[in-house]
Amino acid sequence: MPVWFNPSHTIDQALREVAALMPEFDPEFDPGVRPADPRFGDFQANGVLSFAKKHQVNPRELAQSLIDAAQASNHFDPNMVELSLAGPGFINFKLSTAFLWQWQLDYSTKADYQSGAMQLKSGRKVVIDYPSANTAKQAHIGHLRPMVIGQAIARILDFCGAELVRDNHIGDWGTNFGTLIMKIKRDEIDLNALNEDALATLDKLYKDGSALEKEQPDLRDISRKELVLLQNGDPDNTAIWEQIVKISKIAFEQLFDQIGVEVDITLGESFYRNKVDRIYEELTEIGLAEHSDGALVVWHDEVKKFSRENERPYPFNIRKSDGASNYASTDLATVLYRLEKFKAEEIIYLTDARQQDHFEQLFLTTNKWFKAKGYPLPEMQHVFWGSILGADKKPLKTKSGESIKLQELLDEARARAYEVVTKKNPEFPEQERKAIAESVGIGAVKYADLSSNRTQDYVFSWERLLSFEGNTAPYLLYAVARINSIFRKAEIDPSEPLIGASPIETEAELALARRLMGFVTALELTINDLRPHFLCTYLYELAGTYSSFYNADKVMVSDEAVKARRLILCARTRTVMQTGLELLGITALERM
């Protein structure tokens, strides 16, 4: 029997090989294997139906001949998988108990599961652009999603074998520096003397500076001059700017540590400031960029959405009329750098939904430019999301209407989780309760963000996200802790192999075995769409299936062989749950 890590891929591949030897099929044939409605089987191939329609043959007959040929081949061991014809021309595949059991024995550790997952992205060079915040601004709740969604996607891609570069593309070259430097000089602020809250101070200086410019418009000219000085490399302004960037990085790194954000490199917008001339040249040379009112722009006339009625679509502005580079030019230079330096085959950008038009135009422009120049085009994707809402369904704010500071949100999560944990386990040592609160509190905030479909808004509710019921981090963490307690009481190490087990047979055991097999499929769905909620839903369902199994079938029975096989299922559930949570950036606990 072939060892099928990913049964749907294996079935798909085997059907292709069988069909290749049949005159009825041609190389265009796609078996279309996907998970099936569990009432009918584990997988279903529905590609015969469309193929038969296209070639005007009877789909049921064609499906039957493929089944016959498959069964005659050595690809489908009848003891492992049952094939049957269904509906207008589908083929159903039902994995046998023997198969499901063998699978549990073959795949036991995190590394075993990873060997299956690695097939999904093996060696693919991916650059993930996150969390890419702007400098000189204190992090607020709006910075939560890029960090949380980004770290989860990065971990999952890494687990699936991608060669990943986590590139923190910070916004460190904006026009805000003019105002900020003006205000810093005016108030004679010594940046070196700022304390822990240095970033909060900078944030305030900028706000005060802008307010001042409104009162005294002539200050705007001063700010503009400060910006030009900076752009031309003036040593004083450069020193101030460097200090601001440094303060910002330190403050963000503190948040990264708490949230589990990892970055490999930080190449901000400023890094590309000397790389934009090549962009202007190449885009002009191939006739893509044009001058328009002094600016350099790229038109995408074919895209109607960039236009108002009867008007030419608005262009992608790649150089401002004053000659300065902008967000578009640095992003174009960044794509080229990622291609040349990292040989990127895929680039994933994370920002909120408001930047959709920017990325659409960036991708269109890159497409045309790379094609004209003969550069290999990386696959580019924009991962965006909706807002975090309060109970009133409006973007979440503090009572006084300000944006919530990210650090305050994390501190509140810890404090609330500590209260919950202390109520539940007052006898645990204080230090352990603190550690549990860290994992539960931060984990709960992350999970709430990851478990909803990212393109939709979600309502933030402390009660819900810290609840031990429903699709929440505490529920999943508790499921793991319960399994741990079974092993603790039995004095068995869950990572040690268990011998003497009899094969699974009850409904509940089979249901759990099937669910465990679905882990890699859940990861595949997650990376195909870059939507972590698929993995969350899978883990939630696994916890539910486990709990039905636990309620239906006693684990610690006197029959040693039955006990061993049930303990094996418990150990597998623990491994998959722990691995899944880890990929979401949540630390599982021994007890809670």
Q: Does 51 bind ligand ARG (CB under 6 A)?
A: no
What order do you get walking across the sheet with 316-319 strand by strand? 289-292, 295-298, 316-319
Q: Judged by CB, which is closer to ligand ARG: 349, or 534?
A: 349
Rule CB under 6 A: is residue 213 a binding residue for ligand ARG? no
Q: Which of the stretches 17-25, 52-60, 68-76, 129-137 binds ligand ARG when contact is defined by CB under 6 A? A: 129-137
Of 30-38, 109-117, 126-134, 453-461, the segment contacting ligand ARG by CB under 6 A is 126-134
Q: How far is the CB of 241 from ligand ARG (least distance, A)?
A: 16
Closest approach of ligand ARG to the CB of residue 131, in Å? 8
Q: How many residues bind ligand ARG (CB under 6 A)?
A: 10
Query: Rule CB under 6 A: is residue 132 a binding residue for ligand ARG?
Result: yes
Three-class secondary structure of residue 43 per DSSP: strand
Q: How far is the CB of 7 from ligand ARG (least distance, A)?
A: 38
Tokens representing residue 110 in the block: 């995190």
Cβ closer to ligand ARG: 349 or 549?
Answer: 349
Distances (CA, A) of 565 to 302, 460, 491, 513, 569: 61, 41, 16, 11, 6
Q: Is the dihedral of CA 257, 259, 261, 267 positive or negative?
A: negative
Q: Pick the closer one to ligand ARG by CB: 230 or 348.
A: 348
What's the rounded Cα separation, in Å, for the pair 166 and 342? Answer: 11
Q: How far apart are CA 92 and CA 107, in angstroms?
A: 24
Report the residue from 52, 81, 126, 133 that binds ligand ARG according to the rule CB under 6 A.
Answer: 133
Name the residue nearer to ligand ARG (CB basis): 134 or 238.
134
Task: Answer yes or no: are the C-beta atoms of 248 and 270 closer than 8 Å.
Answer: no
Question: Which sign, positive or negative, has the C-alpha torsion 186, 192, 195, 198?
Answer: positive
Question: What is the rounded CA–CA span in Å between residue 332 and residue 278?
Answer: 10
Of the candidate residues 134, 381, 547, 548, the single one contacting ligand ARG (CB under 6 A):
134
Please name which of 95, 31, 45 lies closest in space to residue 516, comparing C-alpha atoms. Answer: 95
Q: What's the min distance (Å) between Cβ of 39 and ligand ARG?
A: 45
| CA separation for the pair 583, 368 (Å, rounded) | 36
The single-letter code of the amino acid at 42 is D
Give the residue with the Cβ less far from ligand ARG, 8 or 351: 351
Q: Which of 548, 566, 550 is nearest to 558 (CA)?
A: 566
Nearer to ligand ARG, 129 or 203 (CB): 129
Q: Name the one range near ligand ARG by CB under 6 A: 21-29, 49-57, 120-128, 131-139.
A: 131-139
Nearest-approach distance from CB 449 to ligand ARG, in angstroms = 17
Pick 42 or 172: Cβ nearer ligand ARG: 172
CB atoms within 10 A of CB 400: 5
Q: 332 with 362: CB under 8 angstroms?
A: yes
Site map (CB under 6 A) of ligand ARG, residues 339-358, x = contact = ----------x-x-------
Query: Do 51 and 29 meet the contact criterion of CB atoms below 8 Å apart?
Result: yes
Contact flag: residue 478 with ligand ARG (CB under 6 A): no
User: How near is the Cβ of 132 to ligand ARG at its closest, in Å?
Assistant: 4
278: three-class secondary structure by DSSP: helix
Closest distance between ligand ARG and the C-beta of residue 356, in Å? 12
Q: How far is CA 15 from CA 47, 50, 52, 57, 361, in A?
A: 10, 15, 15, 19, 41
Query: For ligand ARG, which is the closer residue by CB, 25 or 369?
Result: 369
From 78-86, 128-136, 158-166, 385-393, span contacting ligand ARG (CB under 6 A) = 128-136
Select 10 or 135, whichever has its Cβ closest to ligand ARG. Answer: 135
331 binds ligand ARG (CB under 6 A): yes
Q: Which is nearer to ligand ARG, 44 or 351 (CB)?
A: 351
Q: How far is CA 437 from CA 20, 339, 408, 411, 463, in A?
A: 57, 43, 15, 11, 15
With respect to ligand ARG, which residue has the nearer C-beta, 133 or 584? Answer: 133
Distances (CA, A) of 382 to 95, 354, 464, 521, 530: 38, 11, 29, 23, 10
CB-wise, 173 or 280, nearer to ligand ARG?
173
Q: Is 296 helix (H, G, I), strand (E, B) or coil?
A: strand
Q: Residue 265 CB, nearest distance to ligand ARG (Å)? A: 13
Minimum gap (Å) between residue 442 Cβ and ligand ARG: 22
Distance CA 119, CA 125 (A): 14
Question: Minimal CB distance to ligand ARG: which residue?
Answer: 171
Site for ligand ARG in 156-175 (CB under 6 A): 169, 171
The answer to whether the CB of 310 falls within 8 A of the CB of 301 is no
Least Å from the CB of residue 170 to ligand ARG: 7
Residue with smaller CB distance to ligand ARG, 351 or 365:
351
Query: Contact residues for ligand ARG (CB under 6 A)?
Result: 129, 132-134, 169, 171, 331, 334, 349, 351
